[in-house]
Amino acid sequence: MPDLTLEVPQKIRRGRLRWDEQRSVASGVELLKLLASSLGHADLANLRVLDIGCGCKFTQAILDRGLPVGQYVGVDVYGEMIEFLRSSVSDERFEFHHINTHNEMYNPDGEELSDATRLPIAENSFDIICAFSVFTHLAPADYVAMLKMLRRYIKPDGHLFFTVFINEETAGGFGRVDLFKKAMQKAERSQLEKHKDEFVKSQREGIPDFVDAIPEQPLRAAIYSRKHALELMEDTGWHIDSLNDPLMHIQHYMICSPA
């Protein structure tokens, strides 16, 4: 395989595909296409995109495949990675910012995400705000706080796109819960009894509003009932346009407009 235009050191890569940079970039290309098309755009040319919890996948995909984008602003709690991107990417369409907000999995010593949290960027200035595999690691209070915080930065005719784990099986079978249920079905009954997974317990008791499904790795899998994922949107300043089923490269995803 040829080298990538931007190679990111293994130690600062995150996400499911962090071990396979080429596959990660290919998935980034597919997701960016889906992002544009599901919001009614041919591509991201002339659009200002804010990517919260950006990681490095989209930056690599855009640079490597020459994908069009008006401006791309990446924000993440991972300081070392943001430093790397700032020092390695000279393309003027890109801007990167570090924020120090708390996340039990990714930034346990960070500051509480609250009404007072601000990003170092202009308000009402983005056509698209996206968060891929970020709400999938947010506790309910942060889910709400993040939505309220992001609301400040969207243009009146812009959209928010984010992925979320929803506690339901889906026809396509691509969801995290589809995988969990398959694993549960495969497991011998005796193994299942010993299994400490909160998800297994919660399924026996009916679908809870929220389950931190792998408690020994807090917020590794933050799973919401469909009802709760939708009701948490109330009073955040967003109108829900759609909640969509998982596809090959993506979990459930929500599309919203400013209310």
Ligand X SMILES: C[S@@+](CC[C@H](N)C(=O)[O-])C[C@H]1O[C@@H](n2cnc3c(N)ncnc32)[C@H](O)[C@@H]1O
Contact between 140 and ligand X per CB under 6 A: no
| Nearest C-alpha neighbor of 153 from the set 183, 136, 131 | 131
- Write out the two tokens for 82: 């943001």
Number of CB atoms found within 10 A of residue 9's CB: 11
| Nearest C-alpha neighbor of 137 from the set 247, 15, 26 | 15
The residue (of 52 and 232) whose beta carbon lies closer to ligand X is: 52
Q: Which residues 152-191 are close enough to bind ligand X by CB under 6 A? A: none
Query: What is d(CA 79, CA 98) in angstroms, rounded to the nearest whole number?
Result: 6
Nearest distance, CB of residue 142 and ligand X, angstroms: 6
Pairing of strands 69-76, 94-98: parallel
Query: What is d(CA 69, CA 243) in angstroms, rounded to the nearest whole number?
Result: 25
Contacting residues for 22 by C-beta, under 8 A, at least 6 apart:
1, 4
The residue (of 12 and 200) whose beta carbon lies closer to ligand X is: 12
In the chain, where does DSSP find H-type helix? 21-38, 57-65, 79-88, 140-151, 176-186, 189-194, 198-204, 226-231
Query: What is d(CA 218, CA 212) in angstroms, rounded to the nearest whole number?
Result: 7
From the list 21, 25, 47, 57, which residue makes contact with ligand X (rule: CB under 6 A)? 57
Contact between 54 and ligand X per CB under 6 A: yes
Residue 48's Cβ-side half-sphere holds a number of Cα atoms within 13 Å equal to: 13
The residue (of 133 and 202) whose beta carbon lies closer to ligand X is: 133
- Write out the two tokens for 209: 């509003």
Contact between 60 and ligand X per CB under 6 A: no
Contact between 53 and ligand X per CB under 6 A: yes
Stretch that binds ligand X, among 73-81, 177-185, 238-246, 247-255 (CB under 6 A): 73-81
From the list 25, 44, 52, 250, which residue makes contact with ligand X (rule: CB under 6 A)? 52
From the list 12, 15, 178, 215, which residue makes contact with ligand X (rule: CB under 6 A)? 15
From the list 48, 49, 72, 101, which residue makes contact with ligand X (rule: CB under 6 A)? 101
Contact between 14 and ligand X per CB under 6 A: yes
The residue (of 139 and 256) whose beta carbon lies closer to ligand X is: 139
From the list 21, 32, 55, 64, which residue makes contact with ligand X (rule: CB under 6 A)? 55
Stretch that binds ligand X, among 100-108, 153-161, 184-192, 243-251 (CB under 6 A): 100-108
From the list 89, 113, 177, 211, which residue makes contact with ligand X (rule: CB under 6 A)? 113
Q: Footprint of ligand X on this chain (CB under 6 A)?
A: 14-15, 52-55, 57, 75-78, 99, 101, 103, 106, 113, 132-134, 137
